[in-house]
Structure 1
Amino acid sequence: MQVGGPAAPGAAGDTPGRAVTVRFNANTAPGLLLALRPRSGPLQVRLGDEAVAFYQASNIGAAPVTGVATYNVTPATVGRYFHKTACFCFEQQTLEPGQQVDMPLAFWVDPQMAKDPATRDIHTITISYSFFRSLDDADRNGALANAGPHVGARAGATQ
């Protein structure tokens, strides 16, 4: 874990030393034989400074698994001030049986958060990742066999 790298692009000198606690959470879709957990505990992050945290994904099944992670930021009002500079979200990850991978999350929190009346009193932010089976993986494993015609449809595609 690395905290306190060079100042991020939104760094401002008028909030010196102001920090927030960033907590990490993870879960996986039911039936997905993939475990996701944060490797980093809560971090104290000065506004404007870049920090790095890690999540670990493990395939606990007997076959390869391909999934995609999504994330959310709470409280929701802080989302506009939370900036990821490196993330594993929205990219397919394939893990072989028994394989474990560490996935980095590099981020910074914009100091403007301290000036916004809706967020200036917030001192804790939670980043939550959810891992889901990819459509390709679900189709390959027969999980879409009984799904309706809308599942997996691409925008603008005719059915």
Structure 2
Amino acid sequence: MINKRIRENIAARRKALGLPQEFIAEQLGISLNAYSKIENGPTRLVSNRLVKIAEILGISLRELIVGQVYTEEEYKHACMLMESKHSQDVSFYKQHLKDNELLIQTLTEMANERKETIDYLKGKIAELENSTLPSQQER
């Protein structure tokens, strides 16, 4: 099933370019009969031959296998969409980073204030423990 689709993609692309089977066969260094079998089925498709066919047809191996051939306009549009999405993502993450930095700064300040409060209270406890209360002196 996959081979059939690839064969159809090869033939469709070749025809779209207006290339005869003879030209592709010559470029591959095989006979017309052997190339015809590639497009029509009896010959097993070999990956290194597919790479060469894709090169001759001016498309990527992915495009040959999947059958998607993008025009320059479609490609540019897809790139613009991806760049726009990337820019949005970068902006989002920059803002998220700023928010996290502010949160860290706030939490650090709070922790420092709590430490100061704890140190102050420890000092007061120590003062109380060291001071002599009148009731303790009388005993």
Which structure carries more strand by proportion? 1
Relative to the length of structure 2, the TM-score reads 0.22
The structure with the largest alpha-carbon Rg is 2
Relative to the length of structure 1, the TM-score reads 0.20
Which structure carries more helix by proportion? 2
